[in-house]
Copies of this chain bind each other. A is one copy, B any other.
Amino acid sequence: MAATLKDVAALAGVSVCTASYVINRTGLHKVGEDTQRRIMTAAEKLKYQPSAIGRALKNGRTCLVGAILPAITSSFLPDVLDGLEDCLNRTGYSLILCTQKNQEEFRQKCNVLRKKQVDGAVIVPEKNDDFLRLCDQLAQEIPTAFVTFRSTNPAIVSVCTDGAAVGYIGAKYLLERGHRRICLPDNGDTWRLQGYQRAFAEFGVSWDKSILYSPHTVWKPGAGREMLHYALDQSPRPTAFHLYSDMLAMELLDEALELGFRVPEDFSIIGTDGLAIGELMRPKLTTIAQPRHEQGFKAGELLLAKIDGRPVNNLELYPYLEVRHSVRSLNA
């Protein structure tokens, strides 16, 4: 079907290797001007496309990168993916998409990447030891990068958002507005808590009296709603919620309105991610935005560097406050 290098060479009346040299512009071989032209013409006439397979076999490089992530449906991961793809495509790399719904699927997808012999893997991991062990294993065989999650394994490079900054920015914004009873998900993310604690220290506000941990923690549909119900059962009730994702925050917002509460009059809500869709909520969702496209793009860059054996360092990107209308000031 598709023309091969042999066909091109034959049509140009040269040997395969000469054709190869011309097509790839490897300076190794000196080729006469008109021979070059003949070869290029032949290639065009035959619409020659170099075979990635032949190359991969010879070079031991597939120019394929696999991405494993939890279901891509409507969170901020599409943006990250978009950035990753942008980066990879510039270097002739392509992206194999692997979504994963649970640990068993994750294991399978790792094997898919092994089998397809990708040159590298980008993973959006789950905060879960079993998962991380599988990642460590994979990283021994394939250059691997984490995105949206900080790696502690030196063999895995990572790009993520500065969690302490997320916490600090959120805490400061709420404290400034007089909130002294704040509900946070207790998902074991100590990084964000550090930021919270720093802000509390700056404001001289007591931690234990002000922070309410909700046990509803991991993202699954309904988690935001459960968090609200948990908080409603506590006393005193919180005046504000800071969720670690916008989807969760929007769910909680919906549930609050559904129950007849007013937002932000009765409860203030602040999300994390900065999804554009939050702008369409009523009230519009105030959020700690994180770079999404850039996060993916940088992950691609670091991974490609790693693949090429260049030294790499983990990267932390900065979040920023997106003020909208879901937080009320309690002052005055």
Chain A residues in contact with chain B, CB under 8 A?
A: 1-2, 49-54, 56-57, 62, 64, 71-74, 78-79, 81-82, 85, 89, 94-99, 108, 111-112, 114-117, 141, 250-251, 253-254, 257, 275-277, 279-282
Contact = CB atoms under 8 A, between A and B. Distances in A.
A81 B57 contact: no
A95 B94 contact: no
Contacts of A254: 279-280
Contacts of A98: 85, 89, 94
A112 B52 CA distance: 10
A14 B328 CA distance: 75
B74 A72 contact: no
A277 B251 CA distance: 9
A51 to B, nearest CB: 6
Contacts of A280: 250-251, 253-254, 281
Contacts of A2: 114, 117, 141
A246 B70 CA distance: 24
Contacts of A85: 97-99
Contacts of A81: 72, 97
A148 to B, nearest CB: 16
A54 B52 contact: no
A198 to B, nearest CB: 32
Contacts of A250: 277, 280
Contacts of A74: 74, 78, 275-277
A277 B74 CA distance: 8
A53 B49 contact: no
Nearest to A283: B282
A227 B322 CA distance: 27
Contacts of A73: 78-79, 82
Contacts of A281: 280-282
A78 to B, nearest CB: 5
Contacts of A95: 96-97
B53 A62 contact: yes
A259 to B, nearest CB: 14
Contacts of A53: 53, 56-57, 62, 117
15 contacts: A2-B141, A50-B115, A53-B56, A54-B57, A64-B96, A72-B81, A73-B82, A74-B74, A74-B276, A81-B97, A89-B98, A89-B112, A94-B112, A250-B277, A250-B280
